[in-house]
Structure 1
């Protein structure tokens, strides 16, 4: 949903969409193989990626607050999905997405740390 939100905001060209599609395909397959080899490692990698996303969204918020990036109205798709007020802005969306990424980070780190305990309890 995050991707759909920012694609709605940025209105990428066809080749940018193709690049995103390609990168997602490569990542999916690499993650699938990594998970087969070591679920703990796969969760840890995603936890680190989520941490980087949190940092990026924090920097983006700073740019919005400085006025370097226009704080446009939130896309309707995001307002509906995230149940935001109708007058929400891009800043509101970034706050919700950053919180969501923090939750994803915590869940993946939990699974990375507790994977051995889960397997030994079976």
Structure 2
């Protein structure tokens, strides 16, 4: 969802969009194959990707606050998805980076479940789990 939001906010050129789509196609197919071979590894990889995504958002937030990046209105897709207020800005979208931390935790939990040889459908997350 962050990718779609930033595609709306940044308005990349046609060749940048093409590059993003090409990378997504390669990643999707590699991830699909990886998941078939080892769900544990696939969830762990996504957990680490989500963990790494938090850092650029923090830097992006610093640049918005410093005025290096214009704090434009949030795209409607972001307002709808994260249920932001009508006057939300790009800064509000970036602050939602906690979403990435949640995805990180969920994928690491799923990897741990697979590591223990259990099924995700049979292993609910603990009540105090994020």
- Same fold at TM > 0.5: yes
1:38 aligned onto 2:49? no
CA RMSD of superposed structures (Å): 1.3
Q: Give unmatched runs, 5+ long, in structure 1.
A: none
Q: Distance in 1 between matches of 2:115 and 2:57?
A: 32
Matches within 5 A, 1:1-122: 1-96=1-96, 98-117=97-116, 118-119=118-119
Q: Where is the helix percentage greater, Structure 1 or Structure 2?
A: 1
CA distance in 2 between partners of 1:13 and 1:30 (Å) = 26
Cα distance, 1:65 vs. partner?
Answer: 1.3
Unaligned runs of 5+ in 2: 123-130
State the Cα deviation string for residues 18-75 of structure 1 (Å, max 9, x = none).
1011000000011111111111111111111001101110111111111111111111
Runs of 4+ in 1 over 6 A off after TM superposition: none
TM-score (ref. length: structure 1): 0.91
Number of equivalent positions: 119
Residue 72 of structure 2 aligns to a residue whose secondary structure is coil
Q: CA deviation at 1:80?
A: 1.9
Structure 1 CA distance for aligned equivalents of residues 111 and 14 of structure 2: 37
| TM-score for the superposition, normalised by structure 2 | 0.86
